[in-house]
A and B are shown apart, each in its own frame.
Chain A
Amino acid sequence: GESVGLHLPTLSVQEGDNSIINCAYSNSASDYFIWYKQESGKGPQFIIDIRSNMDKRQGQRVTVLLNKTVKHLSLQIAATQPGDSAVYFCAEDSTTSGSRLTFGEGTQLTVNP
């Protein structure tokens, strides 16, 4: 079936480094993508979104890149901090899916001081 997945289950970085979390999707009808951060015992927290008519979007310390040609999404976190340690999920939606988000399995980001 069509799904959204992540390349790496874990990512460990040093404090202050930049982090890149990748995501591959297979549903060519997807036209909306979201990155969420989930800390232990909490719900997913919205980080940033991007629509398919864009290939880059920037927020505070975060950048999302979308490559529709190879169905690839990435989240870049600048100057990673210990508070960034969490599981990161990408999720996709499309106007034909009835607004159900499809999530990948997540990447555990660990920031070492």
Chain B
Amino acid sequence: DTGVSQDPRHKITKRGQNVTFRCDPISEHNRLYWYRQTLGQGPEFLTYFQNEAQLEKSRLLSDRFSAERPKGSFSTLEIQRTEQGDSAMYLCASSRGLGVMPQHFGDGTRLSIL
């Protein structure tokens, strides 16, 4: 399977704990994106990387959230001191090249905060 891979698929944690998600993009894609999706809504943009550089962050990405893509390949999204409102599906997407191109999504990590 050469699609976008996300791990874990599900994460259940207690409020206040830290969580980290991983995304492996399609191998030749140099752009990587994180989105958040709540039930019944479309995905909302969080941040994106061009290679290892984080080029844009949404105001949805509070200071408890941090994303990295250290070698321009896989990426991690960490949420510190989780809150009930963080419960959502976290989606990763990747695309190739420069300019607007199709973004291909993984199947997400579903986060549930107890």
Q: Interface of A with B (CB < 8 Å)?
A: 31-32, 34, 36, 41-46, 49, 51, 89, 91, 93-95, 98-106
Contacts and interface: CB of A to CB of B under 8 A. Distances in A.
B40 to A, nearest CB: 7
B42 A95 contact: no
A98 B104 CA distance: 17
B107 A43 contact: yes
Q: How many B residues touch the partner, as a band?
A: 20 to 34
B102 A34 contact: yes
B58 A100 contact: yes
Interface in B21-51: 31, 33, 35, 40-45, 48
17 contacts: A34-B102, A41-B107, A43-B91, A43-B106, A44-B105, A45-B105, A46-B105, A93-B100, A98-B48, A99-B33, A99-B48, A99-B95, A100-B33, A100-B45, A101-B45, A101-B103, A103-B42
B99 interface: yes
A44 B93 CA distance: 9
Contacts of B99: 95
A100 B105 CA distance: 13
A89 B106 CA distance: 16
